[in-house]
A and B are shown apart, each in its own frame.
Chain A
Amino acid sequence: NAGVTQTPKFQVLKTGQSMTLQCAQDMNHNSMYWYRQDPGMGLRLIYYSASEGTTDKGEVPNGYNVSRLNKREFSLRLESAAPSQTSVYFCASSDQGANTGELFFGEGSRLTVL
């Protein structure tokens, strides 16, 4: 049982380059999330998808776009990477909708923007 799978695990970009982080879950969860984790800032929500076909902004959405490709997959795109986007990115999913769902996380994608 793979749970939540993220690719790539590591990436180095130059300022201005673009890239997409991929996430897939095999738990048949309705909701999926993208977080970033920075030292001293904790985990912050970038975007989330309550269900297939919907996406909404979280706390720090600027500079990012997302696509809920289907129920399993939720991607995060950086159109023009900036050094401030150097971070560890985590994808998560949850069941049972908004109010009761337990969060499950992937292993993270470590991004460095030079």
Chain B
Amino acid sequence: KQEVTQIPAALSVPEGENLVLNCSFTDSAIYNLQWFRQDPGKGLTSLLLIQSSQREQTSGRLNASLDKSSGRSTLYIAASQPGDSATYLCAVKGGGFKTIFGAGTRLFVKA
């Protein structure tokens, strides 16, 4: 059974710092991995999708990497801003239609 773990559970950094969020999964037979952002009381916004054949994806200040063999993905946020404060979730899609979500990392960027 696939398990997805995100570390740390919470993170507080000063504005301008570069940071890395971690996601690990137990079953390397995945089809894609997706990173989401969730603001309080809101839905999930898709940030990046990495297909199983890809090693990384980039969007603006965000870069996500995928290493299936080690069961790890990282989300790198460059030059963090207070507006980046949110919960970040990773989700792993395996066989079929079921996607397993991590519990998320709550990020607070201090001005």
Q: Which of A58, A100, A102, A108 contacts B43 (CB 8 A)?
A: A108
A98 B101 Cβ-Cβ under 8 A: no
Interface residues of A (CB under 8 A from B): 4, 31, 33, 40, 42-43, 45, 48, 50, 56, 58-59, 90, 92, 98-108
Residues of A within 8 A of B95 (CB): 98-99
Q: Which residues of the partner chain B approach A103 to less than 8 Å between Cβ atoms?
A: 34, 44, 46, 91, 99
User: Is B97 in contact with A31, judged by CB distance below 8 angstroms?
Assistant: yes
- Docked Cα-Cα span, A33 to B97, in Å, equals 9
In the bound complex, residues from chain A placing their C-beta under 8 Å from that of B76 are none
Which residues of chain B are within 8 angstroms of A108 by Cβ–Cβ distance?
41-43
Task: Say if the beta carbon of B103 comes within 8 Å of chain A.
Answer: yes
The yes or no answer to B51 lying at the interface (CB within 8 A) is yes
Q: Is the CB of B98 within 8 A of A45?
A: yes
Q: Which residues of B contact A56 (CB under 8 A)?
A: 97
C-alpha gap A108/B40 in the complex (Å): 11
Q: Of A50, A58, A90, A100, which one neighbours B32 at CB under 8 angstroms?
A: A100
- A99 partner, pick from B49, B93, B101, beta carbons under 8 A: B93
Q: Which of B41, B51, B93, B98 contacts A58 (CB 8 A)?
A: B98
Chain A residues with CB under 8 Å of B89's CB are 43
Instruction: Identify the closest chain B residue to A43 (Cβ).
Output: B101
